[in-house]
Every structure is written in C-alpha cells, then in structure tokens.
C-alpha cells in the first residue's frame, strides 16, 4: 500500500483497528458523543480520500452530492447499508464497502439472549429484584415459555438466521423459516408463505434486510395471524416493525413479549416500549463484543488497502 490515504472515521474503533489504520493511513477520528448532521458529514469529508461511517451517520443522496471530489470510498462499520444511498454514491464514482460475516455469531447470540429474556420474563424478574418487591419463591410467579419443544419461526435465513437456527436447535426448539427461496443445508423447515409459518410459531425472530417489501412487515395484519401469546424478536432492522401495531398487541396480550435490539429511529425509540414490562430491550448490542467489532474494523482496513492498491473491494456494496 504505497499511498497513505487521508481518512476520517466518524467514531472511535477498537484499539487494534486504530493502530493498524494509523500505520497505513493519515487518519483522524471523530467524537463518539457527537451527533453528525448532514453538514457535519460533508465537512468531515473535506480533504479526505476515505470516509469511515457507522449506522448513525446517514449518507443520503443530498450529502453525496455535496461531497468533495477527493472522496473515493465510503466504508461503513456495519453489515447493513440502508443508511447509505449506494446508488447515489456509485453514480459519483465513490466505492462503498461494508463488514458482513464478522457480525454473524454475535448477532445470533443476542437473538438467543432476547428469545430467552422475553420468554422467561427477565425484565419483570430484574425489576422485582431491583425494586425490592421479591417476596420469595411462588409456584405461579412469573411463569414464562420454555424453549424445549417450542416452535421458532425465522423471517430470513441468511448467515445470521442459520446461526440462530443452530443455537435454537440446541435448546430443543423446532425451527421453521420463511424467505424468498429455500436455503440448501438450513437446519429448519421452509415455508414458502409467511402466513403459514406465523400461524404455528411460538416465537418469531426477524433476520431479513430492510427493503421496500419488508419495511413495516410486522404490522397489525401479520400480528393477527400469529398464535396468541407469541413472542416477537428483532435483531435485524427497527423499521421492519410497525411500532404502534406491536405495542397494541403487547398491551392486549396477543403478543406475550418482545425482545428488541433494534428500533425505528434509534436511539429515539418509541417511548411506550420503556414502560411495557413485557418488552426486553437492548441498545443495539448485536455486534458488541471485542472480537466482532475488531473483526469488523479489520474488514474496513482490508477495503481501504484494496482501494489504495487499485484492487477490487473485498466487501463491495452495489446498488440494488
């Protein structure tokens, strides 16, 4: 890598990643506590060759239009790219890369944590202990759903969905999935129609991308098709869920509980989620391990090096 590119990263990265980037590039890191406006993102790109962003910094068509000519690569520290206007970036000759693969196992682990936490009423139990309301063991206290023998329905069965299927099977769950096509080797039963899967599952977990076809997928109509007492889990994208519909179903008891790691408009999630005892919520921790975040950062490094060397990006993102 003969050329030392000028790079700006909107967020701090794991130590090993920062060290590698300092060795190879002229890099500046932004402030983790800062909320970046469109103007801030454009200003950060000034005089840079590469911009490293996260899910928190939307690079829209308008922002892209204002980028300086020097910017030739936008690398996102995420598998998802719905915060980037890939079409607009590509039209300007700016490469786009992401960090798939590195997120699979950790996101699957969080999905299982949410399934367990929601099924076993962990939020209510924790509140009972923290608020000194626990008065000892009772035969009918906080009865939840046991996973052994329960049916899990996966909406989407890519890398993360399949990793969840493997882990859920170890808990004795019967795993089903719906997707655009049957996946060879998947340890689960395929349903060509989402409706037939929703009708039989005790837990429904989302593992599909955010697209015009999937946004708002968990709505009043689809929730009504679910078994009474179903548990809804989302580690994919917040906008897959219609918040008002899910909250209404949680209040009525039709949905027994929800385990949520992602939210529409995060971090400004729907305020009602905070007050519902049957919502087990996490602040987007899906990839929050030292190992995963370091691996994601090293993928960013790989893509920057490939760009500097004039080689194809290992994790190039193309317009859909």
Name the DSSP class of 23. H
- For 84, 168, 191, 255, the CA distances from 151, given in Å and listed in that order, are 36, 10, 13, 15
Say if residues 272 and 130 touch (Cβ distance below 8 Å): no
Count of CB atoms within 10 A of residue 189's CB? 14
Name the DSSP class of 83. T
Whether omega for the bond prior to residue 267 falls within 30 degrees of 0, making it cis, is yes
The residues pairing with 28 across neighbouring beta strands, listed in sequence order, are 8
Helix (H, G, I), strand (E, B) or coil at 17: helix
Say if residues 133 and 107 touch (Cβ distance below 8 Å): no
Count of CB atoms within 10 A of residue 314's CB? 11
- Rounded Cα distance, 115 and 233, in Å: 7
Which pairing describes strands 26-29 and 50-53: parallel, antiparallel, or unpaired?
Answer: unpaired
Active site residues: 237, 266, 284
């Amino acid at each position: 890598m003969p050329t030392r590119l000028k790079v700006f990263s909107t967020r701090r990265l794991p130590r090993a990643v920062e060290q590698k980037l300092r060795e190879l590039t002229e890099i500046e890191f932004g402030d983790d506590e800062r909320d970046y406006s469109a103007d801030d993102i454009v200003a950060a790109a000034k005089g840079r060759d590469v911009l490293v962003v996260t899910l928190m910094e939307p690079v829209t068509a308008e922002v892209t239009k204002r980028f300086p000519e020097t910017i030739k690569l936008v690398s996102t520290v995420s598998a998802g790219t719905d915060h980037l206007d890939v079409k607009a970036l590509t039209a300007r000759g700016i490469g786009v890369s992401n960090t798939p693969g590195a997120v699979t196992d950790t996101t699957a682990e969080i999905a299982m944590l949410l399934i367990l936490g929601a099924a076993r009423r962990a939020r209510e139990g924790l509140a009972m202990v923290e608020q000194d309301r626990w008065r000892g063991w009772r035969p009918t206290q906080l009865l939840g759903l046991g996973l052994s023998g329960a049916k899990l329905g996966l909406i989407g069965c890519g890398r993360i969905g399949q990793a969840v299927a493997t882990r859920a099977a170890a808990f004795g769950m019967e795993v089903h999935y719906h997707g655009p096509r049957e996946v060879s080797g998947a340890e689960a039963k395929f349903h060509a129609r989402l409706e037939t899967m929703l009708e039989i599952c005790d837990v429904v977990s989302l593992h599909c991308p955010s697209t015009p076809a999937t946004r708002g997928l968990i709505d009043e109509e689809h929730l009504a098709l679910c078994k009474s007492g179903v548990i809804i889990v989302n580690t994919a994208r917040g906008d897959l869920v219609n918040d008002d519909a899910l909250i209404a179903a949680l209040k009525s008891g039709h949905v027994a509980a929800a385990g949520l790691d992602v939210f529409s408009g995060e971090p400004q999630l729907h305020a009602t989620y905070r007050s519902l005892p049957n919502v087990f919520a996490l602040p987007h921790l899906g990839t929050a391990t030292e190992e995963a975040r370091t691996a994601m950062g090293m993928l960013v490094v790989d893509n920057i090096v490939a760009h500097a060397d004039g080689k194809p990006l290992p994790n190039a993102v193309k317009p859909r």
